[in-house]
Amino acid sequence: MAKIVNIRRDVDDKFYRYRMPLLTTKIEGKGNGIKTVIPNMTDVARALSRPPTYPTKFFGCELGAQTTFDEKNERYIVNGAHQADRLRELLDTFIEKFVLCASCKNPETELVILKSGRQEDIIRDCKACGERTGVDMRHKLTTFIVKNPPVKIKKGKKKNTGGDAADGVSGNGIQDPTEEGSPTPDGGESDDELSRKIKAEAAELTTETTLAKEDWSADTSPEAVKQRVKALEGSMAAAVLGGDDDGDDDEDANSPYAVLGKWIEENKEQDTTARSIAIFKKAEEFGIEKKHKTITVLVQTIFTANIVAEIDQYAALFTKMVTSEKHQKSLLGGVERFLGFSHPDLVPAVPKILMGFYQNDLIEEEVVKQWGTHVSKKYVDKDTSKKVRKAGEPFLKVSYFLIVQFLS
């Protein structure tokens, strides 16, 4: 199983959103023909939003060794026998010099080549803080970068040169405004913005309140359960289900979402197929069958404590209505609300719930993996968000293992 580490390996935070596969090596040949192959260089470079030729060439510059690139077959080689730990240390140096913003130390940067007469400079354009910081032009790699600049991607196209960075940064470091981390069309807060706010809050906490020492158990005392049920009833009455994806402020009891939720609660036919058809028709009647927010309402109202078994029963309904990445995120947001408001005792079942959705092709690998690596206050409070994601770690690890096995 491929190990995943933080891009900044000095950051000991399991919820750090910028992650990459741990660099691996394979020594081939013998004598003068001995060489070090880096099997997962493409995956590492994709996470860094840089072409895989850049870090490979950097290794050669630092080690005084020749490098070979076979981009078609994704084969990147450094002549000589080099241990994985040594190359990982050099990769950290490459990240420091050519990836991280010199101002905020965020890896969400794009390399830009600026020309002034005969002089050329390489700039790290940070999409997080907006700063532009230069790289050390005395390093030998800069000559290679200038001769092999990142390919500019035209708006609306997704050409993968160096791979997709985590959360919406294209292969050459250019951020796609339609991806996660960009402002939402309705001007609402993105998960990136929320994550930065959460990290700012976390910086004020003492070491005694780090995730490793938090109590992840739910308060199941009668009084606590009673308060959560009361909160759920109030939220369903007013349809407090988070901001609408389409910019509508429909949080009153007469909104179509609130009326649909109440109708589902009051109409619980025994036959799930008939109920699914009726629910879809009712959503069509309200004109919200294609809305992302509707998915959150469905998760909160359709399922009961037997949700693991019920996912298969209602899979056809969700398959018809979950048609985009935003729908998938609303589905996961509904799970957070379902567990946080009415069924905190089911938090340990998160891996089974995620597996049920995954096996029915309702959530994609990248969407659920991204969801699991950073908290969000969009649907529930921060503590509940952490608990749900923490509980889902077993699924995330198994899921990543399966996808790696498939791709290999």
- SS3 assignment, position 366: helix
Closest to 374 (Cα-Cα) out of 365, 385, 366, 384:
385
Is the dihedral angle over the CA atoms 241, 246, 251, 256 positive or is it negative? Answer: negative
Closest to 58 (Cα-Cα) out of 90, 21, 19:
90
Give whole-number Cα distances, 220 to 139, 274, 348, in Å. Answer: 59, 35, 13
Token pair for residue 386?
């952490």
Domain locations in the chain as residue ranges = 4-147, 212-407
Token pair for residue 51?
């072409």
Q: What pLDDT sits at residue 214? A: 42
Q: What pLDDT sits at residue 266? A: 86
* Domain 4-147 part of CATH 3.40.309.10: no
Same fold, 4-147 and 212-407: no
Residue 161 has pLDDT above 80, yes or no: no
Q: What pLDDT sits at residue 54? A: 96
Measured between its terminal Cα atoms, the distance across the chain in Å is 11
Assess contact for 341 and 383: CB atoms under 8 A.
no
Q: What pLDDT sits at residue 312? A: 92
As a dihedral over the C-alpha atoms of residue 281, residue 286, residue 287, residue 291, rounded to 10 degrees, the angle is -90
Token pair for residue 312?
């298969």
- SS3 assignment, position 45: helix
Taking the whole predicted model, whether its pTM rises above 0.75 is answered as: no
Parallel/antiparallel/unpaired status of strands 119-126 and 132-134: antiparallel
Angle at 222 between CA 216 and CA 225, to 5 degrees: 60
Q: In this predicted model, what pLDDT tens digit does every residue of 21-67 receive, in sequence order? A: 999 999 999 888 899 999 999 999 999 999 999 999 999 999 999 99
Q: In this predicted model, what pLDDT tens digit does every residue of 54-113 receive, in sequence order? A: 999 999 999 999 999 998 889 999 999 999 999 999 999 999 999 999 999 999 999 999
Which residue matches tokens 């003068």?
Answer: 32
Residue 222: CB atoms within 10 A of its CB come to 7
Residues 6 or more apart whose Cβ sits within 8 Å of residue 72? none
Residue 337 has pLDDT above 50, yes or no: yes
Token pair for residue 46?
């994709």
Q: Rounded to whole angstroms, how far apart are CA atoms 202 and 210?
A: 8
Q: In this predicted model, what pLDDT tens digit does every residue of 178-229 receive, in sequence order? A: 334 444 433 344 455 555 554 554 454 433 333 344 444 455 566 665 665 5
Assess contact for 359 and 328: CB atoms under 8 A.
no
* Domain 212-407 part of CATH 1.10.8.640: no
Parallel/antiparallel/unpaired status of strands 19-21 and 4-6: antiparallel
Highest averaged pLDDT of the listed ranges 69-73, 187-191, 234-238, 396-400: 69-73
Token pair for residue 50?
């840089």
Q: In this predicted model, what pLDDT tens digit does every residue of 277-323 receive, in sequence order? A: 989 998 999 999 999 999 999 999 999 999 999 999 899 999 999 99
Closest to 31 (Cα-Cα) out of 86, 81, 85, 67:
81
Q: Rounded to whole angstroms, how far apart are CA atoms 299 and 322?
A: 12
Residue 309's H or E segment, with its range, is helix 307-313
Stated length of the chain: 408
Residue 246 has pLDDT above 80, yes or no: no
As a dihedral over the C-alpha atoms of residue 234, residue 236, residue 242, residue 247, rounded to 10 degrees, the angle is -120
